[in-house]
Amino acid sequence: MRGFTLIEILVALTIVSVGVLALGSFSISSLGSGQTSRERLTAVHFAEQFIEEWQQTDTLPTLDASYCKTAVSWTVSTANTASPCPVSGTATTSVATCTPLFGSQLSYVISATESQVCGPPTGGGNTFNFYSAATPPNPKTKLVNVSWTRKGKTRSVFLTHLSKVP
pLDDT at 1: 55
CA separation for the pair 77, 19 (Å, rounded): 55
pLDDT at 136: 52
Reported as a single tens digit per residue, the pLDDT across 50-60 is 888 888 888 88
pLDDT band at 23 (very low <50, low <70, confident <90, very high): confident
CA angle 84, 109, 83 (to 5 degrees): 5
28 half-sphere exposure, CB direction, 13 A CA radius = 6
Q: Is the pLDDT of residue 4 over 60?
A: yes
pLDDT band at 120 (very low <50, low <70, confident <90, very high): low
CA separation for the pair 47, 32 (Å, rounded): 23
pLDDT band at 67 (very low <50, low <70, confident <90, very high): confident
Kindly list the strands in the beta sheet with 90-98, ordered across the sheet, starting from the edge strand earlier in the chain. Answer: 75-80, 90-98, 108-116, 140-150, 153-163
Q: Are 141 and 160 in contact (CB under 8 A)?
A: yes
Q: What is the dihedral of CA 38, 41, 47, 51, to 10 degrees?
A: -150
pTM for this prediction = 0.67
pLDDT at 85: 57
Q: Are 158 and 144 in contact (CB under 8 A)?
A: yes
Segment among 19-23, 33-37, 83-87 with least mean pLDDT: 83-87
